[in-house]
Amino acid sequence: MSNNNPDLDCTVYMGNFNLTPTGSTPFVMSNPIPPNTNVAPRASMSTRPFQTRWEKLFSEMTEISFPQNTHYCPSSCTQNKLDRIFTTAPRSLQVLLKHNAGTVKDPTFWYARSLSDHSLVFWAISPPSTSQPAQRFGTKKEWTMHPHYQERMNAFHEVIKTNSASMSTTQHRDIVISLMKETALQCRDKLFLEQPESNHSILTRLSSISKAIWTQDARLANILVQHSDLGREFVDINDGIVTCKKTLILNPGF
């Protein structure tokens, strides 16, 4: 079902796959000091007969990562990450959701109670809350590194400094924040024109496209269609309904 309708349905796989993530190594518990050697020796080549098949399936999904170990091996006194979470949910949707993933207590907690040598794993997702106040505007490094940002901020510095005596602290702060936001957005637009094929510009456009489609923001969708080649390529608007023209192509972009 999720293969036929990736925009409407998704599948989640979670549990003990008996395969650790690529590059991960067991955590040695018997010798925790010094910390820089607190890693088990390099693991030998796996002899699991279905490993290649599983890894091929994993490569077509998104893995939900979390820092905790999930399995305790008493014979070697090590912990590893055999329990994993995968989903077929579109990546363009995942960037808009709030995520919380991890384990319920350490695996040694369950082992000491003779219940299991694995911890329970969980993944909680939710849409951003509309009841909370809007988040503060954040300037990106690429915007503040643009020459226009420093030039404009320096030009307004003397003006603000000259009139700061007649302003309260709150007024001074609000003016500076407003100026920073306005200048950063100008730099963003300049980067779109100067570096349209850069990773930063493409990811920013894709994020906006994703937001317009999944939140049905027709106003944002119209802006993207009018001012962006990527917007015209991916976004379609019919009777106020925003849809994606090339879902399978858009999602790998993330």
**DSSP-assigned letters across all residues of 10-42:** --EEEEE-S-PPTT--PEESS---SGGG-SPPP
Domain assignment of residue 6, yes or no? no
Backbone angles phi, psi at 3, to 5 degrees: -70, -35
Query: For residue 248, what pLDDT is reported?
Result: 53
- Assign 3-state DSSP to the chain and report helix, strand, coil percentages, each to 5: 45, 15, 40
Torsion-angle region of residue 18: left (phi > 0), alpha (psi -120 to 50) or beta?
Answer: left
pTM beyond 0.75: no
- 34 preceded by cis ω (within 30°)? yes
Q: At what angle do helices 218-227 and 199-214 cross, to 10 degrees?
A: 140
Is 30 in the same domain as 119?
yes
Residue 2 belongs to a domain: no
- 44 and 118 together in one domain: yes
Does a structural domain hold residue 117? yes
CB 110 within 8 A of CB 119: yes
Domain boundary among 194, 212, 232: 194
Are residues 19 and 96 both part of a single domain?
A: yes
pLDDT reported for residue 103: 94
The per-residue pLDDT string of the chain (254 residues; one tens digit each, 9 = 90 and over) reads 666 666 667 888 999 988 888 888 888 887 544 444 444 444 444 556 678 888 888 888 889 999 999 999 988 889 999 999 998 887 777 777 788 999 999 999 999 999 999 999 999 988 766 555 445 556 788 888 889 988 888 888 877 777 777 778 888 788 888 888 889 888 888 888 888 888 888 888 888 888 888 788 888 888 888 888 888 888 888 888 888 877 655 565 55
Whole-angstrom distance, CA of residue 179 vs CA of residue 246? 38
Closest CA to 46 of 15, 20, 7, 73: 20
Q: What was the pLDDT predicted at 38? A: 44
- Among residues 97, 146, 154, the alpha carbon closest in space to that of 123 is found at 97
Q: Which domain holds residue 147?
A: 136-194
Per the domain annotation, does 182 fall within a domain? yes
Final residue before a domain boundary, out of 194, 213, 244: 194
Tokens of 176: 């500076």
Q: Do the domain assignments include residue 4?
A: no
Domains contained in the chain, number: 3
Calpha distance 131→117 (Å, rounded): 41
- Cα–Cα dist 2/150, whole Å: 48
User: Of 70, 92, 126, which one is at a domain's C-terminal end?
Assistant: 126
Output the DSSP codes for 67-108: SS--EEETTTTEEE--EEEEE-S-HHHHTTSEEEEEEES-HH
Identify the pLDDT of residue 131.
Answer: 54
144 domain residue, yes or no: yes
- Looking at the fold, whether 166 and 146 belong to one and the same domain comes out as yes
